[in-house]
Homo-oligomer: A and B are copies of this chain.
């Protein structure tokens, strides 16, 4: 039970501190881009592998509840992307090969690429029109996240692999949802009306 509680506590403290490390400027550019996508009725495609992909799906559901035309790479219904459509790519390391490849293809088609990653200088960061840097350890490197380590102290195995990145990305995106609801004038009842009623 002790490890359980220490881990829970570490994660919540990490989360609380992380907000200071997320750039206001990046957030406001994200909000602007994503709300323009909505107003212009363009498509959003979410891409990500593993648990980062699951975080992307959780965000995609909320976008759908707000009325976005949103899709997830790898699922059955994925339409063609066109100029003006937006890809949201999530990868802690920014090096996940299948995600980088998909982002590159999206870019070549004329879509804008927004990425969430801990490494703005990664291959994914470099192909992106907008990078939102999310604190977190990554799966491939521990040397260069000295600041995060200082922030929280030793974590392993209290939050193995990409855990901190993934949870922070989820909470970040859920907070973005609330701001988007205000910007787009959506109430919780609006979201409820769009929620899959066959799954309730």
Task: State the oligomeric state as a number of copies.
Answer: 4
Which B residues lie within 8 Å of A96 (CB)? 199-200
- Pick the residue among B11, B79, B106 that contacts A64 (CB under 8 A): B79
Which B residues lie within 8 Å of A15 (CB)? 11-12, 15
Secondary structure at the A interface, as helix, strand, loop or mixed, is helix
Q: Tell me, yes or no, whether A167 is within 8 Å of chain B by CB.
A: yes
- Stretch of A34-42, A117-125, A177-185 contacting B (4+ beta carbons < 8 Å): A177-185
A38 to chain B, nearest CB (A): 15
Which B residues lie within 8 Å of A109 (CB)? 197-198
Whether B51 and A77, one on each chain, are in contact in the complex, defined by CB atoms closer than 8 angstroms, is: no
A166 to chain B, nearest CB (A): 7
A119 to chain B, nearest CB (A): 14
Q: Interface of A with B (CB < 8 Å)?
A: 1, 3-9, 11-12, 15-16, 19, 24, 27-28, 31, 45, 49-51, 54, 57-58, 60-62, 64-65, 70-81, 93, 95-98, 101-102, 105-106, 109, 139-140, 156-161, 163, 166-167, 170-172, 174-179, 181-182, 186-188, 191-200
A-B contact pairs, 17 of them (CB 8 A): A7-B179, A8-B175, A15-B15, A45-B198, A49-B196, A50-B61, A58-B166, A60-B76, A71-B77, A74-B74, A96-B200, A139-B200, A159-B174, A160-B188, A163-B177, A167-B167, A170-B170
